[in-house]
Amino acid sequence: MAIRPIVKYGDPVLHTPAAPVEQIDDSVRALLTDMVETMYAAPGIGLAAPQIGVGLRVIVIDLSVGEDRDQLIQLVNPEFILREGDQQQDEGCLSVPGYGGTPVRPARVEVKGLDPDGVERVYSGTDLLARAFSHEIDHIDGLLFVDRLSPLKRDLMKRRLRKRVREGWET
């Protein structure tokens, strides 16, 4: 169990599609455990493996941030089976600290994937849960909320972020 450092915008691992997990073994379960711990410590409502520098298709979500263990979702190789409608709400990302935006997200999603025992699970979500699934699955596809903004806002934010990367994220 370890809290791992969160990788920031500009690191190639965040901008590259992650690889599927071939087999769910103890190393994948250890990765999930570290991701949950890192998400709670941040604190955040979701985390994807590339955010701790691991290029694998693994996500965790907990809208209660550890208050209610029943809300913890841990998924390996998650895939949308449904995306319906649109919503636009304020959103941030632990890998883009200090910035926010209102990306277009699906209003309702159904997602399937494998749980830590390798058993297939299906989740459906609306509102914040739909946004969280969409945000985390974007991470494993190498995309950030910035990529879902209107072209004008996206280009402005990317210019600011490139400058931030040049100067270094350290405060």
Q: Catalogue the active-site residues.
A: 136
Q: Looking up tokens 């450092």, which residue turns up?
A: 5
Look at residue 106 and give the partner it binds from Ni ion, ligand GNR, none, a contact being a CB closer than 5 to 8 Å depending on partner kind: none
User: Facing residues of 104 across strands?
Assistant: 88
Is 146 a binding residue for Ni ion by CB under 5 A? The answer is: no
Both tokens assigned to 160: 């600011």
Q: How many chain residues are in contact with ligand GNR, going by CB under 6 A?
A: 16
Please state, in angstroms and rounded to a whole number, the distance separating the CA atoms of residues 156 and 133: 26
DSSP for 49-117, written as a single string = GGGGT--BSEEEE-TTTTS-GGG-EEEEEEEEEEEES-EE--B--TTSTT--B--EE-SEEEEEEE-TT
Integer angstrom CA distances of residue 29 from 44, 50, 130, 154: 20, 16, 24, 36
Mark 91-130 with x for binding to ligand GNR (rule: CB under 6 A) and - for no binding.
Answer: xxxxx-----------------------------------
Is 6 a binding residue for Ni ion by CB under 5 A? The answer is: no
Positions in 123-162 near ligand GNR (CB under 6 A)? 131-132, 135-136, 139
Nearer to Ni ion by Cβ, of 93 and 109: the residue is: 93
Mark 39-58 with x for binding to ligand GNR (rule: CB under 6 A) and - for no binding.
Answer: -----xxxxx--x-------
CB count within 10 Å of CB 156 equals 12
Is 60 a binding residue for ligand GNR by CB under 6 A? The answer is: no
Nearer to ligand GNR by Cβ, of 25 and 68: the residue is: 68
Contact residues for ligand GNR, defined by CB under 6 A: 44-48, 51, 91-95, 131-132, 135-136, 139
